[in-house]
């Protein structure tokens, strides 16, 4: 039986995940959720700074993905805006829309697992 390939959708395409890694607690939660998604095989976390910095190889890889997911910590939506800036409309999620308040949401396993589960249920 062939091993299931991680970071691919059921159609065999590549799924890239761009979480916010901002200074706020909700950004840190988003970052940890992106890492968990990679570990769990729901996509491959990729370099948001490279997209924002217009690093050609990163931009081209992102444009070639079959699906792009952003996880923003807050309504400022830096991850989503960076990806949209290169002409891609991502599937976007926002931590503060999941019951977390910026500046008042400690980065805990419980918080990470809650956001992860909510995103997983919407994929």
pLDDT at 69: 99
Query: DSSP string covering the chain, please?
Result: -PPPPTTB-TTS-BEEEEE---SSHHHHHHHHHHHHHHHTTS-EE--HHHHHTT-HHHHHHHHT-SEEEEEESSTT-HHHHHHHHTT---EEEEGGGGT--TTS----HHHHHHHHHHHHHH-
* Residue-wise pLDDT tens digits, 91-113: 999 999 999 999 999 999 999 99
What residue segments make up the domains of the chain, in order of their start? 17-114
pLDDT along the chain (123 residues), means of 10: 43 84 96 98 97 96 97 98 98 98 98 98 94
């Amino acid at each position: 039986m062939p091993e299931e390939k991680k970071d691919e959708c059921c159609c065999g395409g590549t799924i890239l995940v761009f979480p916010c890694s901002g200074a706020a607690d909700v950004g840190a939660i988003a970052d940890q959720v992106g890492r968990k998604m990679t570990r769990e095989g729901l996509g491959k976390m990729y370099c948001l700074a490279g997209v924002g910095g217009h690093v050609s190889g990163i931009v081209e890889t992102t444009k070639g993905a079959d699906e792009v997911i952003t996880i923003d910590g807050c309504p400022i939506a830096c991850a989503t805006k960076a990806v949209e800036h290169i002409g891609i409309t991502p599937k976007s999620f926002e931590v503060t829309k999941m019951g977390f308040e910026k500046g008042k949401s400690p980065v805990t396993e419980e918080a990470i697992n809650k956001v992860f589960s909510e995103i997983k249920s919407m994929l």
